[in-house]
Structure 1
Amino acid sequence: MRVAAASLELVELEGARRGLVLSISDEDGRVGVGEATPLPGFSPESADDDQRALAELPGALGPIDLPGGAPGAAPAATVLAIQRALAPLSSRLRGAPAARFALETALLDLLGQRLGVPVSACLGGHRRYEEVQVNGLLTTSSALPEMLDRARALAVRGVGTIKVKLRSRGQEGFARDLEALRALRREHPAVELRLDANAAWSLDEAPRRLGLLAPLRPRFVEQPVAPELLHHLGACEVPWAADESLAVEGMPERLLDAEGCAAFILKPAILGLLRAHELGCRAQARGLGTVVTHLFDGPIALAAACELALSLPRAPLACGLDAHAGLEAWPAIRVPQLHEGGLIAASDRPGLGVGRWRA
């Protein structure tokens, strides 16, 4: 397969955020799409960085040799073909994971269309499970009545897992968060509760705070301490999960065997699509849970993250892939993997399934 043409379109979003939609076409006229929407303050790069990284693509990509055999066979060969094609761009894409995510998505979209299979099959082969649950998202920065109202709305939709971001800081802030979580647990005793500390705790205070959270029975707490310190945390009264640490060079390998680590939180917009899939497979092989989540991206990146969730060897835990308010700033594109009742399921369309980009 040869990439004959490429185009890049800028989408102005709320505030200072901007998205980029990449469209690439092959010699037969098929079009694959990808998206780079770095999140200021979280992504290591800006939209300008991604735009520079994705410039002049057709002449920079290496050849893309399709795997032989039946459609959907040999996903490892499909991934290898994309890795070889991207090799000439390695220096340009270094430090721009959202650009890599966009390019990998667009190439997998094209290959899926040529092979007649969804992106999840290109990544992971034959489908092993039919659907994945999504988790709801709450934050302690909301007033308690508002937080509880949102939890009730999630329950009505059939969402059985709630993630709560712990936004308060300091000892008094943590005490307020603890009271809010106790109220949430009293009202929803059966919900699976997950918490996210956003790397805000010190290595000394994290074990004590995890002990105070233990009576609430959270499945785990995401990223309790700074990314480069997480492997030092060890076993605590509440298990913990790795998020931002996975982007630190060499850290995933340490965390695969770290005592106390319960799950890897996979953000393809930060890790790249192929790297996120690789880490998800390795984590599951070690018995760790996996969660795929968006970075409040647009619809194309969200569809790609859903395909990632459907491509792993085992079904991931409920994923952070629910529709979000930021999608309203984008041109209306249906994400075919998202279904009613908080479910992700295959679209049964080849490639990414979203069709051509039309601004």
Structure 2
Amino acid sequence: MRVVAASLAQRDIEGARRGLVLSLTDDEGRVGLGEATPLPGFSPDTADEDERALAELPGALGAIDLPLEDVTATASAIQRAIAPLSPQLRCLPAARFALETALLDLLGQRLGLPVSACLGGHRRHAEVRVNGLLTTSVALPEMLSRARALVARGVRAIKVKLRSRGEEGFARDLEALRALRREHPAIELRLDANAAWSLEDAPRRLALLAPLGPRFVEQPVPPELLHLLGARDVPWAADESLAVEGMPERLLEAEGCAAFILKPAMLGLLRAHELGQRAQERGLGAVVTHLFDGPVALAASCELALALPRPPLACGLDAHAGLEAWPEIPIPQLRAGGLVVASEQPGLGIRPWTA
């Protein structure tokens, strides 16, 4: 298979954020889709940088040689095809995510298989649950009201982003979490400190959170320090640290690490799948999450969750308000009630469209 044409459509989302939808056409007329929507202030790349890198297609791509009977070879076939672009994509994970997604979409269509089956070598799960998302930056009554709505939808795991800063802020967050736990004693509670705690403060704060029974706290300390935290009263999970060179290998061996939080928009789709496999082989949990991006990226992230060797923990793949800025198109992997389901459609199951 050879890519003979490529095009980029743009979507202004809000503020300075911009999304890019990549369309690749192969020599038999199939069209594969990918998306690059970096998040300003969080992603290491920008939409302008991604656009420049993706504009070099398709001339820089090699041919994709894939025996039709060997679905397990899809990842290596894509890696060989994009090898000429690897230097440019090294620091542009959103562009890599878009390119890998579009190529997997093409190969899935060629093989008559969904992307999850191509990633996992025919292995895929029937369904994956999603987690709800709350933040302590809103008033407590509103936070509790949102929690009730999530539970009413059938969501069984809730992640709370701890937005307050300083000791007084942490005390307020702690009281809000206690109120949440009193109302929902059976819910699986996860917390996200967004790397805001120091290595000195983290052990004490984790001990104070322990009576609430959180499954883990995501990224309690800065990315380059996480492997030094060790086993604590509450397990912790790695998020931003996974993008630091050499850090995933340290974290696979680190005491206290409970899970890897896999954001393909920050890691690339194939890298995220690789890290998810390695984490599960070590007995760690895996959680796949979007980056509040558009429908193509969300569909690809759902396929990643369905492709992991073991069912992941409830994933951050629920529909979000940012999708309202995109054309309203069906995402075949998402179902009401907090479920990601295996699509029976080849590739991503999303037809070519104009952003």
Output the TM-score relative to the length of structure 2.
0.99
Secondary structure of the residue that 2:59 maps to in structure 1?
A: helix
1:96 and 1:301 map into 2 onto residues whose CA distance is 15
Q: Does 1:221 align with 2:217?
A: yes
Of 185, 196, 200, 1:200 maps to 196
Q: What is the match of residue 34 of structure 1?
A: 34
Alignment map for 1:310-321 (pairs within 5 Å): 310-321=306-317
Q: Does 1:308 align with 2:327?
A: no
Of 50, 71, 74, 1:74 maps to 71
Q: 1:238-297: CA deviations, max 9, x gaps?
A: 000000000000000000010000000000000000000000000000000000000001
1:310 and 1:128 map into 2 onto residues whose CA distance is 5
Q: Does 1:167 align with 2:158?
A: no
Alignment map for 1:108-123 (pairs within 5 Å): 108-123=104-119
Deviation of the 1:67 alpha carbon: 2.7
2:350 and 2:281 map into 1 onto residues whose CA distance is 31
1:209 and 1:92 map into 2 onto residues whose CA distance is 41
Deviation of the 1:333 alpha carbon: 1.6
Q: What is the match of residue 263 of structure 2?
A: 267
Q: What is the match of residue 155 of structure 1?
A: 151
Q: What amino acid is aligned across from residue 52 of structure 1 in structure 2?
A: R
Q: 1:293-345: CA deviations, max 9, x gaps?
A: 00001000000000000000000000000000000001112111000110000
Q: Does 1:352 align with 2:322?
A: no
Q: What is the match of residue 101 of structure 1?
A: 97
Deviation of the 1:128 alpha carbon: 4.4
Q: Hey, which bits of structure 1, 4+ residues long, moved more than 4 A?
A: none
| Cα RMSD after superposing both structures | 0.7
1:23 and 1:155 map into 2 onto residues whose CA distance is 38
1:242 and 1:5 map into 2 onto residues whose CA distance is 38
- Percent same amino acid among aligned pairs? 80
1:355 and 1:253 map into 2 onto residues whose CA distance is 38
Q: What is the match of residue 229 of structure 2?
A: 233
Q: What amino acid is aligned across from residue 21 of structure 2 in structure 1?
A: V
Q: Does 1:342 align with 2:312?
A: no
Q: Does 1:83 align with 2:48?
A: no
Q: What is the match of residue 282 of structure 1?
A: 278
Q: Does 1:189 align with 2:189?
A: no
Q: Does 1:256 align with 2:252?
A: yes
Secondary structure of the residue that 1:341 maps to in structure 2?
A: coil
Q: Does 1:4 align with 2:1?
A: no
Task: Indicate conservation of the 8 Å contact 2:157/2:189, yes or no.
Answer: yes
What residue ranges of structure 1 are gaps of 5+ in the alignment? none
Task: Indicate conservation of the 8 Å contact 2:125/2:307, yes or no.
Answer: no
Q: 1:118-161: CA deviations, max 9, x gaps?
A: 00011002234311000000000010000000000001100000
Secondary structure of the residue that 2:307 maps to in structure 1?
A: coil
Q: What amino acid is aligned across from residue 40 of structure 1 in structure 2?
A: P
Alignment map for 1:317-328 (pairs within 5 Å): 317-328=313-324
Task: Indicate conservation of the 8 Å contact 1:196/1:224, yes or no.
Answer: yes
1:129 and 1:7 map into 2 onto residues whose CA distance is 32
Of 244, 247, 260, 2:243 maps to 247
2:43 and 2:306 map into 1 onto residues whose CA distance is 24
How many residues align? The count is 355
1:232 and 1:168 map into 2 onto residues whose CA distance is 24
Secondary structure of the residue that 1:310 maps to in structure 2?
A: helix
1:105 and 1:140 map into 2 onto residues whose CA distance is 34
Q: What is the match of residue 22 of structure 2?
A: 22
Q: Does 1:330 align with 2:335?
A: no
2:223 and 2:92 map into 1 onto residues whose CA distance is 19
Task: Indicate conservation of the 8 Å contact 1:33/1:357, yes or no.
Answer: no
2:56 and 2:328 map into 1 onto residues whose CA distance is 28
Task: Indicate conservation of the 8 Å contact 2:132/2:318, yes or no.
Answer: yes
Q: What is the match of residue 65 of structure 1?
A: 65
Output the TM-score relative to the length of structure 1.
0.98
2:353 and 2:229 map into 1 onto residues whose CA distance is 45
2:173 and 2:309 map into 1 onto residues whose CA distance is 36
Task: Indicate conservation of the 8 Å contact 2:125/2:342, yes or no.
Answer: no
